Amino acid sequence: MQQDRSAKVGIIYPGHAAEDDFVFAAELVGAALPVAHIYGTDLHAVPELLDLGGPRKLAAGAALLAPENPDSVMWACTSGSFVYGLEGARTQVDDLSVAAGGVPASSTSFAFVEALTALGSTRVAVAASYPRDVGALFVEFLTATGSDVVSFGVAGIDTAAEVGTLSADDVLDLAAAGDHPDADAILVPDTAMHTLRILRELEKHVGKPVLTANQVTLWQGLRLAGCTVIRPELGTLFEEGIDHGAR
């Protein structure tokens, strides 16, 4: 295990909802996780999400992080990345890397894809907070990257602010409702949802690996910074024996 306490992962976060997950995680994993906030409407609606993840807003976030000299930068928003489709999301992170001065960059959507590869999971269930039309775009994104989505459930929540108020029990219920017996793992997108403190409880509740937005964002950012951290409290993804593939 490599645990580099000097690793610094810059987090570009939309608005305010569950960014305190990263404050909690910084101490737990022994890395700096500076957060830069960018703003737009917090509606889970396609036009608003396209605006939120646009190049000017992300470049502004990268500029806010520049004084921190991060080793990697993460666009900590699932819907604001997958809404662009696979190719558009690739362009988004390529542009973000350029805006961040060439450091490795990624997004929560791609973090889910990389995490599934690390777990060896190909058949997944999606338990999303979003309205159905937005959640369907996540399913399309996952399918385009080779995942077989065997179940798709949505809570129909319109705003990130409301998602940020969900209790631990609400999140447990959401994950369980979206599960399917044929799924290798359950994906719970939305970085507005507090999940990092309850990952072991989530996995125990459903009996299989659970990947959440803030969890995979953290994991991917550490990977891109060349840092592998073993913290089983953060779920199966942070256990020994997982191919973290630190670069």
Question: Cα–Cα distance between 36 and 221 in angstroms, integer?
Answer: 14
Q: Which domain holds residue 156?
A: 121-211
Per-residue CA distances from 196 to 211, 215, 220 (Å): 10, 6, 14
Taking the CA atoms of 75, 79, 85 and 86 in sequence, report the sign of the dihedral they define.
positive
3-class state of residue 114 by DSSP: helix
Question: What is the predicted pLDDT for the residue at 245?
Answer: 64
Q: Are residues 201 and 157 in the same domain?
A: yes
Nearest-10 Cα torsion for 216, 167, 236, 32: 50
**pLDDT higher than 50, residue 1:** no
Q: Are residues 174 and 190 in the same domain?
A: yes
CATH number of domain containing 136: 3.40.50.12500
**pLDDT higher than 50, residue 3:** no
Order of all β-strands in the sheet with 185-188: 148-154, 123-128, 185-188, 210-212
Q: Are residues 96 and 170 in the same domain?
A: no
Q: Are residues 206 and 220 in the same domain?
A: no
Q: Are residues 85 and 172 in the same domain?
A: no
Q: Write down the residue that tokens 């219920």 correspond to.
A: 173
Q: Are residues 222 and 101 in the same domain?
A: yes
Supply the DSSP string of 38-87, one letter for each residue.
Answer: E-S--B--HHHHHHHTSHHHHHHHHHHHGGG--SEEEE--SHHHHTTHHH
Domain membership of residue 223 (yes or no) is yes
| Token pair for 163 | 């998602």
Domain membership of residue 245 (yes or no) is no
Domain membership of residue 244 (yes or no) is no
Please tell me the total count of domains within the chain: 2
Mean of the pLDDT values across residues 229-242?
Answer: 91
Model confidence pLDDT, tens digit, residues 101-130:
999 999 999 999 999 999 999 999 999 999
In which band, very low, low, confident or very high, does the pLDDT at 41 lie, cut at 50, 70 and 90? Answer: confident
Phi, psi of 125, deg, nearest 5: -110, 140
Domain membership of residue 246 (yes or no) is no
Domain membership of residue 243 (yes or no) is no
Q: Are residues 134 and 196 in the same domain?
A: yes
Phi, psi of 83, deg, nearest 5: -60, -20
Question: Cα–Cα distance between 218 and 146 in angstroms, integer?
Answer: 22
Q: Are residues 40 and 152 in the same domain?
A: no
Question: What is the predicted pLDDT for the residue at 155?
Answer: 95
Q: Are residues 143 and 103 in the same domain?
A: no
Domain membership of residue 116 (yes or no) is no
Model confidence pLDDT, tens digit, residues 77-106:
999 999 999 999 999 999 999 999 999 999
Q: Are residues 55 and 79 in the same domain?
A: yes
Supply the DSSP string of 119-167, one letter for each residue.
Answer: HT--EEEEEESS-HHHHHHHHHHHHHTT-EEEEEEE----BHHHHTT--
**Burial (Cβ within 10 Å: 0-12, 13-18, ≥19) of residue 207:** exposed
**pLDDT higher than 70, residue 64:** yes
Domain membership of residue 57 (yes or no) is yes
pTM: 0.95
Q: Are residues 138 and 175 in the same domain?
A: yes
Q: Are residues 132 and 206 in the same domain?
A: yes
Question: What is the predicted pLDDT for the residue at 213?
Answer: 98
Residue burial 105-120, b: 16+ Cβ < 10 Å; e: rest:
bbbbbbbbbbbbebbe
Domain membership of residue 3 (yes or no) is no
